[in-house]
Amino acid sequence: MTDTIISSASKEVVIGFERPFVIIGERINPTGRKQLAAEMAAGDYSRVKADALAQVQAGAQMLDVNAGIPMADEPRILAEAVQLVQSLTNAPLSIDSSIVAALEAGLAVYKGKALVNSVTGEEERLEIVLPLVKKYGAAVVAISNDETGISEDPDVRFEVARKIVNRAADYGIHHSDVVVDPLVMPVGALNDAGRAVFRLVRRLREELKVNTTCGASNFSFGLPNRHGLNASFLSMLIGAGMTSAITNPLHLEEMTAVLGADVAMGHDPNCMRWIQKYREPLATGDDPVGGRRGGREGRRRRAPGS
Amino acid sequence: MTDTIISSASKEVVIGFERPFVIIGERINPTGRKQLAAEMAAGDYSRVKADALAQVQAGAQMLDVNAGIPMADEPRILAEAVQLVQSLTNAPLSIDSSIVAALEAGLAVYKGKALVNSVTGEEERLEIVLPLVKKYGAAVVAISNDETGISEDPDVRFEVARKIVNRAADYGIHHSDVVVDPLVMPVGALNDAGRAVFRLVRRLREELKVNTTCGASNFSFGLPNRHGLNASFLSMLIGAGMTSAITNPLHLEEMTAVLGADVAMGHDPNCMRWIQKYREPLATGDDPVGGRRGGREGRRRRAPGS
């Protein structure tokens, strides 16, 4: 059983084998969002603020913050965004950049124990990112690719993950502070992508004893009804033992799938969270439908097997 | 790898480890449906007909037929219902009764290889149902309870299943013709119900090498948003290796979960079935929204990560 503790100044979130699945909100990321990129580059963080609040409201326990804007001063912008988000919410953050100076700028201003997103198995990355993770007492997302790229062979990806975990240990970083992203491939291109990642998640958990995360929505790339497919896939990932995902908590189908999978894993004691979220309103007072219904009718639950 | 072949006069359905998940439509069952019970008892099969066609249309590969009406002539009614349904559709049937004379009446008129639903681990049931299954060359659903009732301990349920499989072998029935129902408990009452059944499905598959089925909706009994929870649970059951379910194919959330899980298991080659079901209509001609959209706009797929 492995617990990865991430914290802000006033709140701890635990990613763990016997814990509710942790949703890391992915929205604060200018990649592919032109308007957000332009605003952040100009020092306008109103959309960052709105995204932070909306994601926490929707059920994200953590938030990813990325400031990857071409030609912009990424270290300064990332540090400013981290500070702003920490002033708005106590959700712990994942500090996300491919630029080491930006990671360091974010870590320098961060209050609590951050999740650094990310390190790969590339030698050069390992040698600069891991000392930074150690210096700031952070945890780190380990992405299972290396100099040779992303292997389609899940066994190769497993070995890259093992190498990162071992190297982290050399730097004094415990395996509970390494959260492995096994890399989800688009099933439209690779028909075995689902089962490959389920097997990989089980091996990462049983053999390396690490927590796992992923960008789950890549699975449905190019296919119709992406939310429906992502919902099934996320449920199955959780069944296979995945413990967190970097995803959009504003998507209701995926969030319902995650909450349902937590119930099925026994990670929602007495189904309290499920019941609280989905219980039907009483007939009087707070009925959102607004219709007039009799008391018995209004409180009626669906019959078994309905 | 185990394949269970069920057939009608003109169509085979295979329940198998490396096959798409098989939905056995549960609707033709008067239990808890007063009007259907009254009609069937009076020889009016119009609703049976409608239910048969609607379920096949919705994607059920097989249909369950039950005629359990108190005080009625169940053997005659079940036989008539079986003949009617076989005249309407080529979907193979599961012949469902707790009364042995009704099972035999259904089997006697059935064209093809039926699935007998069901035998339990009770000695008396084993001794009368298994010879019938052998006589008609059918397959059988084995429910993992016995004289002592339904154990909450999944290991006990596993041993009951093993006993039935062994006893079937004594009667010359191959384990590929035994489809085990591990019994799904309501998670609202038993917090570990989900993981218990996932483990059980894996053991049944790996150790007894049998196909599995269940009444999945029992899982969500007493909880709100049952369809949402059933959808997650069904996806995870398929991920754990379950190969069929007796359920209502008219429920869209559950059906989407099953189709999505088939994609994730690699059982929907090139995602053809998923794409066919969910592809967005072209902008011209068959756009159900009916709005005027430009050609490029209308054909646009959601962007990755949207």
Select the residue from B36, B235, B265 to test the A interface by mutation, using most A Cβ atoms within 10 A: B235
The beta-carbon neighbor of A231 closest among B225, B260, B274 is B260
What residues in A contact B306, CB-CB < 8 Å? 226
Predicted confidence band of residue B280 (pLDDT cuts 50, 70, 90): confident
| Confidence label for B285 from pLDDT (cuts 50, 70 and 90) | very low
Which of A197, A198, A229, A232 to probe by mutation at the B interface, max B CB count within 10 Å?
A232
Output the pLDDT for position A283: 55
pLDDT for residue B296 is more than 90? no
Residue in this structure with the two tokens 């009614």, named with its chain if needed: B77
Q: Which of A294, A289, A213 is nearest to A246 (CA)?
A: A213
Rounded to whole angstroms, the Cα distance separating A61 from A71 reads: 31
Instruction: State the DSSP code for A267.
Output: -
* pLDDT score at B281: 72
Q: How sure is the predictor about B108, in pLDDT bands with cuts at 50, 70 and 90?
A: very high
Q: Given B188, B217, B261, which is nearest A271 (Cβ)?
A: B188
Summarize pLDDT for A151-168 with one digit per residue, the tens.
999 999 999 999 999 999
Q: All domains of chain A, ordered by start, with CATH?
A: 3-292 (3.20.20.20)
Specify the residue for token string 């814990």: A19
pLDDT digits (tens, 9 = 90+) for B239-258: 999 999 999 999 999 999 99
Q: Which residue of A192, A222, A260 is in closest CB contact with B233?
A: A260
Stretch B178-191: mean pLDDT: 96
How do residues A69-88 score in pLDDT, each as one tens digit? 999 999 999 999 999 999 99
**Is A274 within 8 Å of B229 when comparing Cβ atoms?**
yes
Give A223's contacts in chain B (Cβ within 8 Å).
271, 274-275, 278
Q: What is the per-residue pLDDT for A286?
A: 46
CB A258 within 8 A of CB A21: yes
Q: Kindly state the average pLDDT of the residues B193-219.
A: 96
Average pLDDT for chain A? 92
Point out the residues of chain A with pLDDT beneath 50.
285-306
- Answer whether B148's CB lies under 8 Å from B189's CB: no
Please count the other Cβ atoms lying within 10 Å of the Cβ belonging to residue A268. Answer: 23
CB–CB contact A274 B225 (8 Å): yes
Is A163 exposed, middle or buried, given 0-12, 13-18 or 19+ CB atoms closer than 10 A? Answer: middle
pLDDT at res. B284: 52
The ipTM (two decimal places) reads 0.90
| Separation between Cα atoms, residue B225 and residue B33, nearest integer Å | 22
Q: Name the least confident of A213-217, B156-160, B267-271, B295-299.
A: B295-299
pLDDT of residue B79: 98
Buried b (16+ CB within 10 A) or exposed e, A60-90: bbbbbbbbbbeebebbebbbbbbeebbebbe
Helices within chain A (DSSP H only): 34-41, 46-58, 74-88, 100-109, 123-135, 154-170, 193-203, 226-240, 252-264, 272-278, 295-299
Q: Which of B263, B278, B300 to mutate to test the interface with A (most CBs of A within 10 A)?
A: B263
Query: Which of A198, A223, A265 is the closest to B194 by Cβ?
Result: A265
The CA-to-CA distance between both ends of chain A, in Å, stands at 38
pLDDT in tens, A5-27: 999 999 999 999 999 999 999 99
What is the distance in angstroms between the Cα of A202 and the nearest Cα belonging to chain B?
12
Total residues belonging to chain B: 306
* Per-residue tokens: A21: 């699945």
Is residue B293 predicted with pLDDT exceeding 80? no
Q: Which residue of A has its CA nearest to B275?
A: A224
- With tokens 């001609």, the residue in question is B285
CA distance A96 to chain B (A): 17
Chain B nearest-CA distance from A158, in A, is: 20
